[in-house]
Amino acid sequence: MLIEAAQTMSFSGNTASEETVSLKSSRLYSGIRITFETTAGSAANILNGINALTVNVPEYGSQSKRVDVDGDTAYLLPMMAALGGRGFGDAVSRSGTIISTGADKVTGFTYFDLPVNKMSTQQDTRVTINMTPGSGVTVKVSFAFIDSPMQPVYFASYYYDSESSTQNWFPADGILTGGVLLCNADSTNPTGGTIARARSSSTITSVSLMVCRSTPTMSQ
């Protein structure tokens, strides 16, 4: 079941902007559905306009950022939503974006069901989003609380530059249950391309790791 939150955001135009909302609820919930809808203009895949997204749940302390993506790692959002589901059938319905292409399943509309597993109603969940919708495009963002079971996981995206000499692949603050994404080089960036480019190329030159971690204090 979804319980709609009162807070909304709105983004428009070619200039990046950022907004933060505090989501208040009198009941515990397992996840948050973040819905993006084009209300003006024509957005070519809403995911392309998301520059950064953070879901912060204060009661988890050092693990409070349950989702934290920016830049190329924002393309991981539909995969994160799927990994938060219970089983295959549930996973495929947890996002309105096609994982393999980044395209909206319904043009101008998408959503991501992200696991939160709220433990306290005393502190609000904070969501920060940075977007650049595109010329003449306006996108409305709304939120809803999910009370159906979701996996006890949270996410962090790590190193995706093959030139880096220092890497922290396996952080000690969770149990690694994640996935690997491959990236290709191109003529403008010969040492390592982006997650988006890897979708349509068979030339793999670097590897990126997206960490999906279980909270150690929660039952598995």
- Residue 60 maps to a domain: yes
Residues 203 and 132 in one domain: no
Q: How much is the pLDDT for 35? A: 97
**Do 24 and 121 fall into the same domain?**
yes
Please say which residue of 99, 124, 150 terminates a domain: 150
Contact by Cβ (8 Å): 21, 126 = yes
C-alpha 182/C-alpha 194 separation (Å) is: 9
pLDDT of residue 12: 95
For residue 33, give every residue at least 6 positions away whose Cβ sits within 8 Å of its Cβ, in sequence order, or none.
2, 111, 112, 113, 114, 143, 144, 145, 146
Of 123, 116, 113, the closest CA to residue 24 belongs to: 123
Reported as a single tens digit per residue, the pLDDT across 196-210 is 444 444 444 544 445
Give the domain range for residue 166. Answer: 157-214
Quote the pLDDT of residue 88: 66
Q: Is 60 exceeded by the pLDDT of residue 78?
A: yes
How far, in whole angstroms, is CA 199 from its chain's centroid? 18
Place of tokens 């043009």: 107
Token pair of 62, please?
């050092």
Question: Taking all residues of the chain, what is their mean pLDDT, rounded to a whole number?
Answer: 79
Q: What is the number of structural domains in the chain?
A: 2
Banded pLDDT at 165 (limits 50, 70, 90): low
Between 220 and 121, the higher pLDDT residue: 121
Q: What is the pLDDT of residue 191?
A: 45
Cα gap 98→72, rounded to integer Å = 16
Residues 167 and 72 in one domain: no
Both tokens assigned to 61: 């302390």
Q: Tell if the pTM clears 0.95, that is, is over it.
A: no
Q: Which pLDDT does position 83 carry in this prediction?
A: 86
**Tokens 């040492």 belong to residue:** 191
Q: Are residues 103 and 180 in the same domain?
A: no
What is the domain-level CATH number for residue 60?
Answer: 2.60.120
